[in-house]
Amino acid sequence: MNTDDPETLADRQSELPRLLWVLRNGKGFGLYFVCCNAPAYRRELVEKIKAEYALPILEFDLTGHDGEEYIDHRLLTWTADKPAGAPVFLFGLETLLPTRDEDRRFRTIQEINWRRNVYSQLGRNLVIWLPEYALTLLARQASDFYDWHSAVFEFPVPEAEKAEFVELSMQEFMDGETHAANRMTLAEKKRWIGVLNGLLDETPKESVEYARLLNDLGRLHHASGKYSEALRMYQKSLEVFHKLNNQEDESMALNNISQIYQAQGDYDNALRYLESSLVILRDIGFRDRESIALGNISHIYRIQGDYEKALSYLEDALVINHAMGNREGEGTNLNSISQIYSAQGYRDKALNCLENALTIHREVGNRIGEGATLNNFSNFYYDQGNNDKALDYLEQSLRIARDMGDQAGLCAILINYGAIHDSQGNISEAKHAWLEAYRIAEEIGHAEGLKALDKLAKDLGKEGLAYWESKR
């Protein structure tokens, strides 16, 4: 999304009042969609809406729906004895629209499409909450149903969970191969996009050069948070690499595409692309890249909470790295494994992995890996409420990020740094760190960072990003 555009910004701010307006004024049946990618942010929004709306809202979650009964039937039966006129918030429809199970998806889409008349019997407002990819799917494929709506409300994720934000940034951090796109200032990025577009016109289509330009443009858009543009570029580059039978670059494009889907919350597609990439890498025998792909797949399973699978992919990666004597890879894997143990509540195992990872990173002199591991140590102690230790590790991590000139990483660490101080009641120190994070994020056009800072300012009761700008 283009965050510079004041109209877009104004529209974003009017989404919530508009939604409240239709809840209050829409009589009888009305169909609405809310586009929201992150479950945590969704919960936050729903609470906010409930507080402001003040009348009952009926919440229905389809997660785990077996498909035996029509969705509308279930809704009708369930709402029969509920207060008249109370709107229904429907969640979890995306779980019936899996990207990988075509049959299931098709059935759900068709069912919704042809039974749309039954929904109107609800006689109340129906608000369906969906992640972006699922809404697009519905719009194109259940078009009769979708076309019935009276509004779509979009709530782009401000990465509500601070921890989640930090983790995403750390993932890039850990991959080690920081692309030039992540180091440029925003102004530089804009200039480069212009330059590359110009080159694109001069380069013969269907050449490797052309595809690489597209890929670089994709990285630039990606780094500026413009996912759909980035996706278009990556897709095009993939097409050309594939035509040229350039498998190595094809696997890279597949990987990049998966990162976009992941950022949009479409984990099925992210996995699909990563798996295609994996097949190619195995085919051409690029074992080091194979281990990275395994790590990325594991990451997606971890986000989705499938820790067993996440662990098994990482173990495969670890076997490869061990066999190849790739100590750096081993260190990275151990660091990731610690995060799974941590999420599973195996604190000792997690700590053990972190210690091993740190030893290896220091032994081979992998400073970026060291920084990431130190940050995870910090999270570990922060979760335990040991703020002093958390701060201690984070300060070490901060020093490394400054030394390495990793702006994106630095920005993430500073936000965490501020969060710890904030939780200790040390507001001025927190603001200080966040202000520096804002300067960096603003300079490099770090979309995720800006979103997090926008929320932090609002949590402080200020007016979002404008607050940091005024403090510069």
Q: Is there binding between residue 18 and another protein (CB under 8 A)?
A: yes
3 binds another protein (CB under 8 A): no
- Is 115 a binding residue for another protein by CB under 8 A? The answer is yes
Tokens matching residue 179 = 């692309």
| Torsion angles phi and psi, residue 90, rounded to 5 | -105, 125
Cβ closer to another protein: 13 or 359? 13
The backbone region for 36, taken as left when phi is positive above 0, alpha when psi lies in -120 to 50, beta otherwise, is: beta
In this complex, which beta carbon is closest to another protein, that of residue 95 or of residue 136? 136
* 139 near another protein (CB under 8 A): yes
The whole-angstrom separation of Cα 286 and Cα 284 is 6
Alpha helix ranges (H) inside 345-424: 347-364, 367-383, 387-404, 407-423
Q: Which of 47, 144, 283, 315 binds another protein (CB under 8 A)?
A: 144
State the nearest-atom distance from the C-beta of 165 to another protein, in Å: 25
Nearby residues of 69 by Cβ (< 8 Å), 6 or more positions away: none
Residues 153-182 that bind another protein (CB under 8 A): 154
Closer Cβ to another protein, 32 or 393, answer by number: 32
Among 59, 60, 95, 136, binds another protein (CB under 8 A): 136
CB of 158 to another protein, least distance (A): 18
The residue (of 14 and 423) whose beta carbon lies closer to another protein is 14
| Region near another protein per CB under 8 A, out of 28-36, 256-264, 424-432, 447-455 | 28-36
Contact call for residue 235 and another protein (CB under 8 A): yes
Tell me the one-letter amino acid at 284: I
Distance of CA 375 to the CA centre of its chain: 19
21 binds another protein (CB under 8 A): yes
Q: Which is nearer to another protein, 78 or 106 (CB)?
A: 106
Contacts 24+ apart (CB under 8 A), 137-146: 137/97, 137/105, 137/109, 138/33, 138/97, 138/109, 138/112, 141/109, 141/113, 142/109, 142/110, 142/112, 142/113, 143/113, 144/113, 144/114, 144/116, 145/31, 145/112, 145/113, 145/116, 145/119, 146/33
Cα 420 to chain centroid, rounded: 23
Interface map 250-279 toward another protein (x if CB under 8 A)? ------------------------------
- Distances 217 to 1, 182, 233, 461 between C-alpha atoms, Å: 16, 12, 7, 37
Sequence-distant (6+) residues with CB within 8 A of 195 are: none
Rounded to a whole number of angstroms, the minimum distance from the CB of residue 399 to another protein is: 43
| Residues in 51-110 at the binding interface with another protein, rule: CB under 8 A | 106-107, 110
Instruction: Give the residue with the Cβ less far from another protein, 77 or 150.
Output: 150
Residue 7 or residue 348: which is nearer to another protein going by CB?
A: 7
29 binds another protein (CB under 8 A): yes
CB of 270 to another protein, least distance (A): 19
- The residue range among 112-120, 273-281, 295-303, 407-415 that interacts with another protein, by the rule CB under 8 A, is 112-120
Q: Which of 4, 7, 102, 103 binds another protein (CB under 8 A)?
A: 7
- The structure tokens 């983790």 sit at 167
The shares of helix, strand and coil residues in the chain, as percent rounded to the nearest 5, are 75, 5, 20
Residue 152: CB minimum distance to another protein, A: 6
Q: Which of residues 30-49 bind another protein (CB under 8 A)?
A: 30-31
Give every strand in the sheet of 151-154, ordered side by side: 58-61, 88-91, 125-130, 30-35, 151-154
Handedness of CA 78, 80, 83, 89 (dihedral sign): positive
Question: Which pair of structure tokens corresponds to residue 38?
Answer: 């992150």
Q: Which of 65, 74, 179, 232 is close enough to bind another protein by CB under 8 A?
A: 232
Contact residue for another protein among 4, 6, 27, 64 (CB under 8 A): 27
Q: Is 114 in the site for another protein (CB under 8 A)?
A: yes
Which residues here bind another protein, judged by CB under 8 A?
A: 7-8, 10-11, 14, 17-18, 21-22, 25-31, 106-107, 110-111, 113-117, 120, 135-136, 139-140, 143-144, 147-148, 150-152, 154, 229, 232, 235-236
